[in-house]
Structure 1
């Protein structure tokens, strides 16, 4: 059902280029009411700060593997998005994850041996370039207010990413993540089985010591776990929406999705 973003190049990004005044002094950034980069994506990374809003719209799951990340499920099958059409137009009102809103920008390391992050962009996005319209990225050779806002947004995203890692580390420390499986039945048909993701093991959650639970309650971690568990009920709603779109899976496809 879901896999972690590509390790070589982040999800959505086809290429990356560091933003600088020498090369991009005359560049502007366009706004858009379409997000074609979301059109065929069924799972988008989330930060823990987004759980309370996201859980109202999407099932929140975790990718499988050694380094799980939280994901908002916009569809249950690869290539199916029930909130955005093929052109990237939102067809159903929903919360848009910060990971998607930061595109085409992001902070990235330019050198493997350095922890310094630089503001980069995807030149293939069509949203950054020498345009007559849009917001200028530089003024008199210095980052414009628009660029400073983009930088701040991305810095906040990185900070939220560190909080998210700490949350995942705590779940792993207490061995609370397990292989997920959801069975969705339709009358007169074999159930559709979705696997290939991780979720919190509720039985093990019940065994966590009281002092740890109190600490989690005070830190807000318990609220995040609750958001995740409650959101899983939305899988059936997403499934029904796929059927109404004519993109319902066959049983074999459902069993192997994201494997």
Structure 2
């Protein structure tokens, strides 16, 4: 792969022989996500996550792509602590599946891959903390329940990603997306920040959508996701306070939509 997805550096197919002795860190750590304030999201997550993480869209060549906002300062995730533990109330599936990912294959069976450079995997468990790593394969070479669960997650994620891409293109076709600015306060310096470049559903445009457009959204399973996305934008203030704990006199952070497409 020449262009690797976010956080992945050395993706190789999972090999039952080559990776037989591999162990996976337990509990999972997320230090690899510390340098990103955005994490990809899929349609299936909008409902469970909407009251905990703001959901925005970013413009991509293949269409608008949803992301979770996980920090107010570009390049810094505010939900990963110094030990690499996730402190948020919802853990995105994109992070849960790491270091595994589904590769492209001409075969009928899915090609499960992993990031061979990840610190989450090692050939032998840590001698100082043997309970902190769990094996991927059983002694007879069969998959452990842990690996089975991870394979199931990456397959389900890939299927959800395809539906999500179609959903983004539908929103674009219907002209529902507008530029969004998220405003908030830096949790460390107290300085105000404004994040630009995101997109959100325009509520006025949604209300004015012709019946055929609403029917298309409903038929494609996107109407509930739109409402969940709008709910998530209302949660920006709670999300920011959780990071910054501003003084009572501080203005609440806002999420403002512009009229520009």
Whether contact under 8 Å (1:29, 1:137) holds in the other structure is no
State the match for 2:115 in structure 1.
122
Q: d(CA) in 1 for partners of 2:37 and 2:165?
A: 22
- TM-score normalised over the length of structure 2: 0.77
Match of 1:254 in 2: none
Which whole-Å deviations, capped at 9, do the CAs of 1:215-242 have from their partners, x for residues lacking one? 5346542111111112112223333444
The number of residue pairs the alignment matches comes to 233
* 8 Å contact from structure 2 (residues 181, 194) kept in 1: yes
Contact 1:60 1:228 (C-alpha < 8 Å) held by counterparts: yes
Distance in 2 separating the partners of 1:35 and 1:179: 30
**What does residue range 138-217 of structure 1 map to in structure 2 within 5 Å?**
138-183=138-183, 192-217=193-218
Is 1:69 matched up with 2:41?
no
Q: Give how far 1:124 is off.
A: 2.2
| 2:82 aligned residue | 86
Q: Residue 257 of structure 2 corresponds to which residue in structure 1?
A: none
Conserved? CA contact 1:176–1:201, under 8 Å: yes
Match for residue 131 of structure 1?
Answer: 124
State the shift of 1:156 in Å: 0.7
Match of 1:51 in 2: 46
Q: Secondary structure at the match of 2:235?
A: helix
Gaps of 5+ in 1: 1-6, 246-259
Residue 47 of structure 1 contacts residue 70 of structure 1 at CA under 8 Å; is this kept in 2? Answer: yes
Where structure 2 has 5 or more consecutive residues not aligned to the other structure, the ranges are 186-190, 247-261
Q: Contact (CA 8 Å) 2:201, 2:230: kept in 1 or not? A: yes
CA contact (8 A) 2:72 2:193 kept: no
User: Residues 176 and 21 of structure 1: is their aligned pair in 2 closer, same or farther, counting only changes over 3 Å?
Assistant: same
Match in the other structure for 1:252: none
* Distance 1:216-1:147 versus aligned 2 partners, 3 A rule: same
Shift of 1:99: 0.4
Residue of 3, 11, 18 corresponding to 1:8 = 3
Supply the distance in 1 between the matched residues of 2:183 and 2:137 (Cα, whole angstroms).
49
Q: How is 1:92-111 mapped onto 2 (pairs within 5 angstroms)?
A: 93-109=88-104
